Amino acid sequence: MKHSDDIRPPKWSLRFLRFFMKKEYLEEIEGDMEELFQEHAGQGSYRQARRQYTWEILRLMRPILLKRLGALQPVYSAGMYNNYYKTSVRGMMKNPFTSFINLFGLAVAIGFCILVYGFARWTYGMDQFHKNKQEVYLATFFAKRDGTYQQFGRAPAPLGPSLKKDFGQIRQVCRVEDRTVVVKFQDKVFNEHVRYTDPAFLEMLTFPLKWGTPKALAGIDNIILSEAMSVKYFGEENPVGAHLLVKFDKDRSKSFTVAGVAATFPDARSFDFDLLLNFENLRVADPGYNAYDWNTNLAATLIQVDHSADVDAIQRGMADYIQAHNAVAPVDWAISSFAFEPLATLSRKADSIRGCISNGSEANYKSVVFLVVLGILMLVLACLNYINIAIVTATKRLREIGVRKSMGASRGAVVAQFLYENGVTTLVALVLGFLFGAYVIIPWFETINHFSMGFRLADPALWIYLPAILLVTAIASGLYPSLYISKFPVVGILKGSVRFGKKNPLTKVFLVLQLILACIFITGSVMFSQNTAYLTHRSWGYNEHQALYVNLPDAAAYEKLEALLSRVPDVVSISGSVEHLGRGHATAIVRTPSHPFEVDQLSVGARYFKTMGLQLAAGRVFADHYKDDERTIVVNNLLVQSLALKNPIGQTLRIDSIQYRIIGVLNDFYSHSFYTKMRPTIFRVADKDQYRYLSLQTRPGSESKTYKIVQARWAELYPETPFSGGYQEDVWGNYYEELGVHATVWRAIAFTAILLVCLGLYGLVKLNIAGRVREFSIRKVLGAGMMNIADNVLRQYILLLIIALALGIPLSYTMGKRVLEFAYVYHMPINFSSVVLAVGILILIVLITLSTQIRKVLRANPVEGLKAE
């Protein structure tokens, strides 16, 4: 047993005990604890005894034993508060500029936090409006692809009805299939997406109707519209009872009665609908459609159970369905298991479920984390500004503090006063920041991102969040200055022997921190801008600028359109294809010795490569005569690399039990966007009667002229069918716009950060110089020139700037690199140029800020400076 001298209870726990325990009980209880500790230490391990000691101390925190926090008690009176309020308002009015810096900085940071809140709320509220979100599940299946099991959001067509029949626990089932149709009402003709569903759709999911009844979906001749569709075709009128003509394809069409219009969809939704038709209409639209074929997949199959616990039992009983599917499906498409995904969390997983009905994205959750970090950094920046200025300003209030203390104010009372003043400032900042956030930042963010986050003032959680921000900000920014200011002795203050503020090392540390943060923000902004420029000019690997494409309603359209367009002089080349680059692809499975390998497949005409400007690296492309190349393929370089083929030309690949010979290898190209990884791709030859796309290449510079001609020819050929097609440049949708948005957001953030740092630095330097007016005046009288004064002012800041840069440059570089790698699959090569540029901007701004103050000193009349006070 150790002697009691070398065994000590944990110091911190003891200190904590002394902090909270009532004075009169302390000796007894401290002794008790010591005695017990020695006993425990004697019995068992020393560490265990220490742990026990701490635990016991925590359990001693009982109301009857706790110290009353008496220090602050006596000052809690209305008169005192009135006085504090007056002092703080007068203080603000007296130094309007520094008050403005404090208010503005805090308001901007809080405004940003409001945006973060709105975005997080939107993200986490995704699809949560569905009343049955815990009971509704999406049927998904797992299948092996490229050696790993992947989840698919589609399900075999007969699965829904079979489940309903076989499992008593399932209350409702709803199948969903999506198709594109042409909708005509009077002179309005548009291409639309239509959802064929079972009537349960509107019961399982919470999409209330504005007009009409959900039951109407059971009617085979009824159609339900979204609000947007209703406005598009009928304006603000109630269209219930009106007739819409739906053309399924060239030959088949049917007239439907509008039976319902959905109310405005909630903003936080990851899927909705444009038009709803009864599932049975799928037979009208597509007579060949077989709803009993296990080899046909539907866009989605949803089930609703009474208790979420039932799903496990259902999941265990799926073996028969797996068998039913695998018996008819090709071996490469075999299902290994079924899984049911709850609606409540579907949007979050949607990224990893292929072909999922929900458009949700994990990226949003990542963005929330990202924004939270940015929000905290902004708030830190603003608080640091506040702290620095508060400490320096307090120099001028030493007398006041001295008088208050000598009148009997305890240190606690002075702290309370400063916290109160800070609370007033923060409250004003909160109001300004809230207005700024809710009415400027959020609408701006929504506009550039084309979405609505449904930010509402009536949100109860918001009214918890706002006071929380107020409290955190007020304490974070006010606690240190108030503790620092209040600690000086009265006598020293009144004698004038206390001089502080200028020499406080912490002020310098804070300034360095601010500069580091600014460095990070500016680097981020520069990197994102550079990356946007880089990606905007990056080639897609083919001639996307001169290419146009047209969707064809049927194969016959190709011949007609080609005949008309080949006479247009600006058209260089025309070709047809079944799938089109950037507009979709089929999927094929290549058999390799080790595992099945999934590739994108496009079936194209012989001239497609020339028209699209795809570059041949080796071999040849298809010959003009279709029959010759029926068993050959052209592949991209990535596929050759992925399969590690040496001398690929002439080798054969097995796809669906047929051998195909590789005749050509293409240089790599990006078919989707720089967000998605390039995929191994094969091209097969397509016959004319399969064409669904017409693509053409124009002479450079004549794209828009040719596009107009194409549209005009289309209108002549098909006056009843809307034109569908466009510039190849546009097939990535709003990809470039989105890139631009990222850069804009970053620039805005960097600009704010720079502004905050500038204001903080400006305020600090201004106060510093104001305190040294006499010194500078004397220097000037004694003949100091510009160099001397500038040297004097700059010296203390330049050193700080150098330290900040020494720390900030590596930090900015690493963080910028991380963010870029995190946000983009393909990005610019990262080098130090962005950091160098950012640092240059930062130094320039700091020097400009400092030089304004130096100029002021140089211009000032020394006599005035000496006369002051």
Among 2, 12, 18, 28, binds other proteins (CB under 8 A): 28
Collapsing DSSP to helix, strand or coil, 379 comes out as: helix
Among 25, 129, 500, 723, binds other proteins (CB under 8 A): 25
Among 16, 34, 167, 372, binds other proteins (CB under 8 A): 34
Nearest distance from residue 15's CB to other proteins, in Å?
14
CB nearer to other proteins: give 25 or 289: 25
CB nearer to other proteins: give 10 or 342: 10
Nearest distance from residue 521's CB to other proteins, in Å?
49
CB nearer to other proteins: give 60 or 462: 60
> In this chain, which stretch among 20-28, 202-210, 359-367, 547-555 interacts with other proteins, using CB under 8 A?
20-28
H helix intervals, 698-785: 703-717, 735-770, 773-781
CB nearer to other proteins: give 32 or 720: 32
CB nearer to other proteins: give 38 or 449: 38
Nearest distance from residue 6's CB to other proteins, in Å?
13
CB nearer to other proteins: give 4 or 352: 4
Quick check: 36 binds other proteins (CB under 8 A)?
Answer: yes
CB nearer to other proteins: give 55 or 85: 55
Among 18, 32, 688, 775, binds other proteins (CB under 8 A): 32
> In this chain, which stretch among 34-42, 101-109, 194-202, 705-713 interacts with other proteins, using CB under 8 A?
34-42
Where do the DSSP E strands lie in 227-355?
Answer: 243-247, 253-262, 275-278, 297-298, 300-305, 335-342, 353-354
Residue 357 DSSP class = S
- Sort residue 241 into left (φ over 0), alpha (ψ -120 to 50) or beta: left
Nearest distance from residue 66's CB to other proteins, in Å?
10
- For other proteins, what does the binding mask look like between residues 537 and 576, x meaning CB under 8 A? ----------------------------------------
Closest CA to 717 of 250, 346, 344: 250
Nearest distance from residue 374's CB to other proteins, in Å?
44
H helix intervals, 487-542: 490-495, 505-537
Closest CA to 190 of 725, 720, 727: 720
Identify whether the C-beta of residue 219 lies closer than 8 Å to the C-beta of residue 259.
yes
Nearest distance from residue 50's CB to other proteins, in Å?
15
Quick check: 249 binds other proteins (CB under 8 A)?
Answer: no
Nearest distance from residue 17's CB to other proteins, in Å?
10
Instruction: Report the alpha-carbon distance of residue 418 to residue 485 in Å, rounded.
Output: 9
Among 10, 16, 20, 30, binds other proteins (CB under 8 A): 30
> In this chain, which stretch among 26-34, 213-221, 484-492, 836-844 interacts with other proteins, using CB under 8 A?
26-34
CB nearer to other proteins: give 11 or 795: 11
Nearest distance from residue 22's CB to other proteins, in Å?
9
Nearest distance from residue 62's CB to other proteins, in Å?
4
Q: Bridge partners of 223?
A: 258, 277
CB nearer to other proteins: give 21 or 378: 21
Collapsing DSSP to helix, strand or coil, 631 comes out as: coil
Instruction: Report the alpha-carbon distance of residue 758 to residue 774 in Å, rounded.
Output: 25
Nearest distance from residue 7's CB to other proteins, in Å?
11
Instruction: Report the alpha-carbon distance of residue 618 to residue 279 in Å, rounded.
Output: 49
CB nearer to other proteins: give 51 or 164: 51
Quote the distance between the C-alpha of residue 100 and its chain's center: 32
CB nearer to other proteins: give 4 or 641: 4
Instruction: Report the alpha-carbon distance of residue 430 to residue 438 in Å, rounded.
Output: 12
Nearest distance from residue 9's CB to other proteins, in Å?
9
- Sort residue 344 into left (φ over 0), alpha (ψ -120 to 50) or beta: alpha
CB nearer to other proteins: give 27 or 720: 27
Nearest distance from residue 24's CB to other proteins, in Å?
10
Which tokens is 264 given? 């405005």
Instruction: Report the alpha-carbon distance of residue 610 to residue 616 in Å, rounded.
Output: 10
Could you tell me which residues come within 8 angstroms of residue 3 by beta carbon, excluding any fewer than 6 positions away? none
CB nearer to other proteins: give 37 or 484: 37
Nearest distance from residue 47's CB to other proteins, in Å?
19
> In this chain, which stretch among 29-37, 378-386, 770-778, 800-808 interacts with other proteins, using CB under 8 A?
29-37
- Please compute Rg for the chain using Cα positions: 36
- % helix, strand, coil for the chain, step of 5: 55, 20, 30
Name residue, tokens 């680097």: 523
Identify whether the C-beta of residue 327 lies closer than 8 Å to the C-beta of residue 294.
yes
CB nearer to other proteins: give 36 or 71: 36
DSSP H/E element including 803: helix 786-823
Nearest distance from residue 12's CB to other proteins, in Å?
17
Q: Bridge partners of 601?
A: 586, 682
Quick check: 12 binds other proteins (CB under 8 A)?
Answer: no
Residue 200 DSSP class = T
Identify whether the C-beta of residue 200 lies closer than 8 Å to the C-beta of residue 172.
yes
Identify whether the C-beta of residue 660 lies closer than 8 Å to the C-beta of residue 633.
yes
Collapsing DSSP to helix, strand or coil, 112 comes out as: helix
Residues 50-89 within binding reach of other proteins (CB under 8 A): 56, 59-62, 64-65
CB nearer to other proteins: give 52 or 150: 52
Among 2, 18, 27, 556, binds other proteins (CB under 8 A): 27
Closest CA to 522 of 115, 764, 811: 811
Instruction: Report the alpha-carbon distance of residue 365 to residue 345 in Å, rounded.
Output: 12
Nearest distance from residue 68's CB to other proteins, in Å?
14
CB nearer to other proteins: give 30 or 730: 30
CB nearer to other proteins: give 61 or 863: 61
Identify whether the C-beta of residue 276 lies closer than 8 Å to the C-beta of residue 217.
yes
Among 10, 29, 284, 826, binds other proteins (CB under 8 A): 29
| C-alpha distance from residue 664 to each of 591, 623, 635, 724 (Å) | 19, 12, 6, 32
Nearest distance from residue 42's CB to other proteins, in Å?
9
Among 2, 12, 35, 193, binds other proteins (CB under 8 A): 35
Instruction: Report the alpha-carbon distance of residue 337 to residue 363 in Å, rounded.
Output: 27
DSSP string, 553-616: SSHHHHHHHHHHHTT-TTEEEEEEESS-TTS--EEEEEE-SSSEEEEEEEEE-TTHHHHHTPPE
Total binding residues for other proteins by CB under 8 A?
20
Phi, psi (deg, nearest 5) at residue 810? -60, -35
Name residue, tokens 């709320």: 121
Instruction: Report the alpha-carbon distance of residue 137 to residue 153 in Å, rounded.
Output: 11
Nearest distance from residue 72's CB to other proteins, in Å?
24
Binding site for other proteins (CB under 8 A): 4, 25, 27-36, 38, 56, 59-62, 64-65
